[in-house]
Amino acid sequence: MKERLQQIYNLSDDLTEQLTQAGTFRTFSRGKYLGFQGEIPDVLYLPLDGILSLQAPCESRDDYFYAVFCAGIPVNDLFLLNPQPRFESLKALTDVTLLSVPFTKARELMADSLEFSHMMMKSVSNKLYTFGCLNYIQSEKNPEQKILKCLQQLASLNPRNRVYLNYRNIASLMVISRNTVAKVVKDLHSRGVLVVEKSYITFPEQSELCQAPSHSLY
């Protein structure tokens, strides 16, 4: 798994060795919670396989998730830099394999490794940029452009150019009706602008085959 970690996160040999010594490779089964609302996270997760989701605890249904993390996207990096109670719960949407690094070790690495510090700052910066973009996109009046821009921005965060949010989640994120999202996505799919699979949306030029997680867009 050390080689996979290095490949996915594009790490040097030195940083790969430091991270594997500081952390532990772990596997969590689908449905397992890795964090709850109100907790202050103390572990950095580097996913290698599978999908983690952020769930809104204020929703009556427990299948509402508004952000997902797959291989290549650090999790809890925001709390590593700024310890705060979390607003959401962190759940394994599929079986997940990851490297778990305690914050104490991660902060030592940030002090000693410029490469790791840059990796964390870039990850946080990408997420903050996306948050700003999504806020801007919400002001778009044209429903098709609004949904398309949202999907493109979310896909840009995923190493495989995929969006794992379902229609209800996208509708809530963009403050638009679920029926409108379904209609627009269906039309974009029919025109070849995007591709709708069972559990994700992607764009033709970067779509690729892989085993799909066991949840549905519908």
Sequential DSSP letters for 66-121 = EEEE-TT--BSHHHHHS----SSEEEESS-EEEEEEEHHHHHHHHHH-HHHHHHHH
Confidence band, pLDDT 50/70/90 cuts, at residue 208: very low
Three-class secondary structure of residue 202 per DSSP = strand
Whether 136 maps to a domain, the answer reads no
* Same-domain status, 106 and 151: no
Q: Give me the pLDDT at residue 145, please.
A: 94
Element (H, E) at 9: helix 2-9
- The mean pLDDT value of the chain amounts to 88
Average pLDDT, integer, range 137-154: 92
HEC sequence for 34-79: EECCCCCCCEEEEEEECCEEEECCCCCCCCCEEEEECCCCCECHHH
Confidence band, pLDDT 50/70/90 cuts, at residue 211: very low
Whether 172 maps to a domain, the answer reads yes
Q: 108 is in which domain, residue-wise?
A: 2-124
Handedness of CA 200, 204, 207, 209 (dihedral sign): positive
What confidence tens digit (pLDDT) does each residue in 97-122 have?
Answer: 999 999 999 999 999 999 999 999 99
Whether 130 maps to a domain, the answer reads no
Q: Give me the pLDDT at residue 134, please.
A: 86
Task: Give the end of a domain, one of 124, 150, 176.
Answer: 124
CATH code: domain of residue 54:
2.60.120.10
For residue 141, the 8-state DSSP code is -
CATH code: domain of residue 182:
1.10.10.10
Among the listed ranges 56-60, 108-112, 161-165, which one has the minimum average pLDDT value? Answer: 56-60
Three-class secondary structure of residue 195 per DSSP = strand
Whether 135 maps to a domain, the answer reads no
Q: Give me the pLDDT at residue 209, please.
A: 35
pTM of the predicted model, to two decimals?
0.79
The b-or-e profile of 5-16 (16+ CB within 10 A means b, else e) is bbebbebeeebb
* Same-domain status, 162 and 198: yes
* Same-domain status, 76 and 156: no
Whether 218 maps to a domain, the answer reads no
Whether 213 maps to a domain, the answer reads no
Number of domains the chain is built from:
2
Report the distance separating Cα 188 and Cα 134, nearest Å: 20
Task: Give the end of a domain, one of 92, 124, 156.
Answer: 124
